[in-house]
């Protein structure tokens, strides 16, 4: 295995973006692509590490950039951009879709693509699904479940997995109940796993000073395995086989 990490410059209209492509350069057969969508902090080591983990499973992974080169590293601009994207899900979906196009263009990626998002990225991938993105699956990990545009059955193409912390104060169980109702009303093929003892951001070892956020190794391990099993089902074969 020869894991290659490559910075990729791309655009969403007037936004200059920089993502990270990670794949096994020793592969000869095409395989599914995984879009990795970062949390509120932006494209950080957590998103890069998750992308590398997917590449080690045999996928081509692309850790995308939702904010852009002009925003990265400026907390005030980051917070303003998050607020703007939350309020305008059409723009959020389009920004994430620009990352999907980077994946689709890679010569090692076949027609099968999924998206995994963490925290703000979890909300983002659910919005991709709600918007009818032509992808096989989305996974939201400790992401927001609220939306201003609930899912409509005829638009959905993706299977959905949500990994949620039972003690997450930022996504209370009332939001979970509303989400379940939304999915049921739309006839979605979805799974929801709730991890006991887990708070918001339970996969991020670096963590954050924000109250209600904490790393939880047990839930991180379990959700990682759940995602792996979900992709084995969605893609119907072991992608690590050449």
Given a cut of 50, whether residue 241 has pLDDT beyond it is no
Q: Which residues of 47-67 are buried (b: 16+ CB within 10 A; e: fewer)?
A: bbebbbbbbebbbbbbbbbbb
CB atoms near residue 206 (< 10 Å): 10
Given a cut of 50, whether residue 146 has pLDDT beyond it is yes
Using a pLDDT cut of 70, give the percent of the chain over it.
97
Q: What is the model's pLDDT at position 152?
A: 81
Two tokens, residue 125: 């991938």
What integer is the mean pLDDT of 113-126? 98
Q: What is the model's pLDDT at position 154?
A: 81
pTM (two decimals): 0.95
pLDDT by residue (tens digit) across 64-118? 999 998 898 888 999 999 999 999 999 999 999 999 999 999 999 999 999 999 9
pLDDT by residue (tens digit) across 154-198? 889 999 999 999 999 999 999 999 999 999 999 999 999 999 999
Q: Which residues lie below 8 Å from residue 167, measured CB to CB, with a gap of 6+?
A: 197, 198, 199
Q: What is the model's pLDDT at position 210?
A: 84
């Amino acid at each position: 295995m020869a894991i290659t990490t490559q910075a990729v410059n791309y655009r969403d209209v007037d936004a200059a973006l920089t993502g990270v492509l990670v794949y096994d350069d020793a592969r000869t057969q095409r395989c599914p692509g995984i879009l990795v969508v970062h949390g509120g902090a932006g494209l950080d080591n957590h998103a890069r590490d998750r992308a590398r983990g997917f590449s080690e499973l045999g996928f081509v992974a692309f850790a995308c950039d939702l904010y852009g080169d002009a925003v990265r590293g400026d907390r005030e601009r980051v917070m303003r951009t998050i607020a703007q994207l939350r309020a305008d899900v059409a723009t959020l979906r389009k920004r994430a879709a620009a990352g999907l196009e980077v994946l689709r263009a890679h010569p090692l990626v076949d027609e099968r693509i999924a998206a995994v998002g963490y925290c703000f990225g979890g909300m983002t991938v659910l919005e991709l699904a709600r918007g009818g993105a032509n992808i096989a699956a989305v996974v939201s990990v400790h992401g927001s479940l609220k939306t201003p545009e609930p899912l409509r059955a005829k638009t959905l193409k993706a299977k959905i997995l949500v990994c949620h912390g039972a003690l997450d104060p930022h996504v209370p169980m009332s939001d979970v109940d509303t989400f379940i109702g939304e999915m049921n009303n739309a006839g979605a093929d979805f799974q929801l796993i709730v991890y006991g003892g887990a708070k918001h951001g339970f996969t991020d070892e670096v963590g954050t000073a924000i109250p209600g956020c904490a790393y939880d190794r047990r839930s991180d391990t379990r959700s990682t395995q759940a995602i792996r099993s979900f992709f084995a089902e969605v893609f119907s074969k072991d992608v690590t086989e050449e």
